[in-house]
Chain A
Amino acid sequence: MHMHKYEKIWLFFGIGSLFVFLAVLGVGAFAQGTQPPSCLTTIDPEKVDQTPPFDKPGLVKTGENEYQLNIVASAFAYTPNQVEIPKGAKVTINVATKDVIHGFEMAGTNVNMMVEPGYVSSYTQTFDKVGEYVILCNEYCGAGHHLMTAKVKVVEQ
């Protein structure tokens, strides 16, 4: 089909940019491991409180500078809702919900995932900066949705 010369230039440039973006994303995701949270573990949503590790939610040390942070989400709270993390810790955050869909967002970080009944949501983040982060529910879950929050403090070791 006939196309103006400039349109060819434009589409070459535009489509080329799209493929560069895709390549950057693909290398990041598949070679450097920055995949979005996509945990495939399932859980019975009505037995979250009895299922390890969510029967004892909180921060657990799993190795040299490595931690697991297990959090239970329910309308309209996170358990626990106050967490202290030592600076430099590599933390795998696991979240499960007992009722409806919730969001799990640590504002100002890349920790941002959907929490859906029946699944564990998981993401690993290293905390290199001392400070305080607010965790909040960013998926509508009911009348108290905007009150669903928790706090993380990153402290000097």
Chain B
Amino acid sequence: MMNGTWKVDARDGKLAMAHIYVAFVALALGGLAGLLQVLVRSGKFELPAGISYYTILTTHGVLLGLVLTTFFIIGFQFAAVSRTAGTLSDRVRFWGWIGFWLMTIGTAITAFYILIGEASVLYTFYAPLQAHAGFYIGLTLVVVGSWISGFAMFAHYAKWKKAHPGQVSPLLTFMSVVNMVLWLVCSLGVAATVLFQLIPWSLGYVDRINVLVSRTLFWYFGHPLVYFWLLPAYMIWYAIIPKIIGGKMFSDSLARMSFILFLIFSIPVGFHHQLVEPGIDPAWKYLQVVLTFMVVIPSLMTAFSMFATFEMYGRSKGATGLFGWLRKLPWGDARFFAPFIGMLFFIPAGAGGLVNASHQLNQVVHNTIWVTGHFHLTLATTVVLTFFGGAYWLIPHLTGRVMTKAMNRLAIIQTIVWSIGMIFMSSAMHFAGLLGAPRRSAFSTYGDAPQALEWIPYQIAQAVGGTILFIGIILVLIIVTNLAFFAPKGETEFPVAEVAEQAERTPLVFENWKLWIGIAVVLILIAYTVPFIDMIQNAPPGSKGFKLW
């Protein structure tokens, strides 16, 4: 498995670090926006100087949901392919930089239009709310930049394959390629609605827009998007955590199989975000509910692999009893502790996700703050804590520094602070959501409705949790700044796990891209063709744009 160099080439490291800097700047600004939101929503504070709650909310969603994630993921994956499939060629690196600058310029343009109040449309930008064209153009540049980076990674992978005929590619490279294929296939949907619908319409070239088609294209993209966030966390869990704890990977083939299942099943599922909307036949909704449940399977496999990795390691160190192996895990190592806590939070996160996707059960929770609570467990805890845990070795590896004991201790504290804050905030969100409290809304008592007054204690709990989380953000920013600029010089390992002896050899079939992409496309066509034609054939008159903020 040990192909290529042990250390990421300094030039590749610079490319990865550029992405990571942008990601953490986004975390700082987006986190501040989040703090303001929970304070407003408690009913105890108001924003100064006429700043709109919804401008802040748009900022929060775009910076954390789109910018932090995409930049960290692409930076991490460039480092991972460089580490496992060898130093990038000058050409690949050049295109990586082009991708980076397109994404950064796009982010700056989009952020500008949000901050001047021309784009308070939230990060889902549902038509017929109409933002300034600059908002959509900026987002387009972000997506196009990410495509270029994706193709750069594909080119690097192809070069490795050519140099190693008949060999199984390094696991982290394989996983990065799967994730970028997933991203490319799904972002075609959002690109279609932005390029062919939203931009011409916001520039005034066309008058009207088909709202349901636009939403459907968005959600064709919107759910695989969350898997694009999750898979890099799974990369760290499968291929890196075993090395950090000093153990072995449970199985290379099962890891690849779960990634292929994600590639196949995570796209034809967008209707589960549209379960309570008109214009779509419920039978087609149900079909996509079934496909959504299939994408749970690779996560069930992952849960088993993770526990098995930990148990095998613990037992190799002499652990006995049913759970004795837990005590052998390196609890004092933040590189393990942060992602491990992220894994634990994925249990309630997954449970909530099953409810969301459950056809008519969606009526109980749709667009309530339960949903916000759900993705603050998935993205803002499971994924983000895993990324933090990754940053604790990736940044010093790339900057030629070492994490001090003090910083490691601070990172442990950071993880605990994050967990406490999130337990407060997310639980309150889940329970208030079951009572009916809506998401994406400023503070309101709805005319002093008795029901709405019942939600206020939960909203105060959210503010307490959100404030604790903001402290968590400050802590991680201190750690990251230290690791990037101030930590002592030295060598930090980029850990890559080896496979356990008893695991079987990995078959080559997982790299039969024509087969897997072919199956994915067939499923997409089955799930979407008929309802999409229905939408267009039975389309109501289109909508003009509205600017209601």
Contacts and interface: CB of A to CB of B under 8 A. Distances in A.
Asked if chains A and B are in direct contact (CB within 8 A), the reply is: yes
A128 B541 CA distance: 38
Given A25-B361, A110-B363, A138-B438, A44 B540 contact: yes
A149 B446 contact: yes
Contacts of B540: 42-45, 117-119
A113 B276 contact: yes
A83 interface: no
Interface in B231-280: 253-254, 257, 274-280
B54 A140 contact: yes
Interface in A80-121: 99-101, 103, 105-108, 110-121
A40 B367 contact: no
Interface string A65-86: 0000000000110000000000
B439 interface: yes
Contacts of A60: none
Contacts of B437: 107
A118 B354 CA distance: 30
Contacts of B442: 145-146
Contacts of A3: 254
A117 B441 contact: no
Contact of A100 (B283, B450, B507, B546): B546
A141 B363 CA distance: 20
B344 interface: no
B278 A36 contact: no
B469 to A, nearest CB: 22
Interface string A30-74: 100011111111111110000000000000000000000000000
B212 A119 contact: yes
Given A28-B360, A99-B546, A117-B543, A134 B129 contact: no
Task: Report the interface size class on chain A.
Answer: 35 or more
Given A3-B254, A29-B286, A75-B546, A105 B539 contact: no
A113 B435 contact: no
A11 to B, nearest CB: 6
Contacts, number: 237
B504 A1 contact: yes
Nearest to B509: A1
A116 B362 contact: no
A46 B128 CA distance: 13
Given A38-B280, A138-B367, A46 B541 contact: yes
Contacts of A113: 276-278, 363
Contacts of A116: 211-212, 215, 277-279
B529 interface: no
Contact of A151 (B359, B361, B447): B447
Contacts of A37: 276-278, 363
Interface stretch (B17-25, B292-300, B474-482, B513-521): B292-300
A142 B367 contact: no
A151 B377 CA distance: 33
B438 A21 contact: no
Contact of A22 (B293, B297, B444): B293
B543 A134 contact: no
A117 to B, nearest CB: 5
A142 B546 CA distance: 9
A143 B54 CA distance: 7
Interface in B127-169: 128-129
A3 B211 CA distance: 47
B126 A101 contact: yes
B452 interface: yes
Contacts of B14: none
Nearest to B212: A116
A60 B290 CA distance: 38
A59 B148 CA distance: 56
A84 B54 CA distance: 33
Given A137-B441, A145-B440, 17 more contacts: A11-B301, A18-B293, A25-B361, A35-B360, A75-B546, A100-B128, A101-B211, A105-B436, A114-B274, A117-B543, A118-B539, A118-B541, A119-B212, A133-B451, A134-B449, A138-B440, A140-B441
30 contacts: A1-B254, A15-B300, A18-B294, A22-B290, A25-B358, A28-B360, A36-B282, A40-B538, A75-B548, A101-B211, A106-B436, A111-B363, A113-B278, A114-B274, A114-B276, A115-B278, A117-B211, A118-B212, A119-B540, A120-B278, A133-B451, A134-B449, A137-B438, A138-B367, A138-B439, A140-B57, A140-B440, A140-B441, A145-B442, A151-B449
Nearest 6 CB-CB pairings of A with B: A142-B548, A107-B436, A118-B540, A119-B278, A42-B540, A134-B449
Interface of B: 52, 54, 57, 120, 122, 126, 128-129, 211-212, 215, 253-254, 257, 274-283, 285-286, 289-290, 293-294, 296-297, 300-301, 304, 308, 354, 358-364, 366-368, 435-444, 446-447, 449-452, 504, 507, 538-543, 546, 548-549
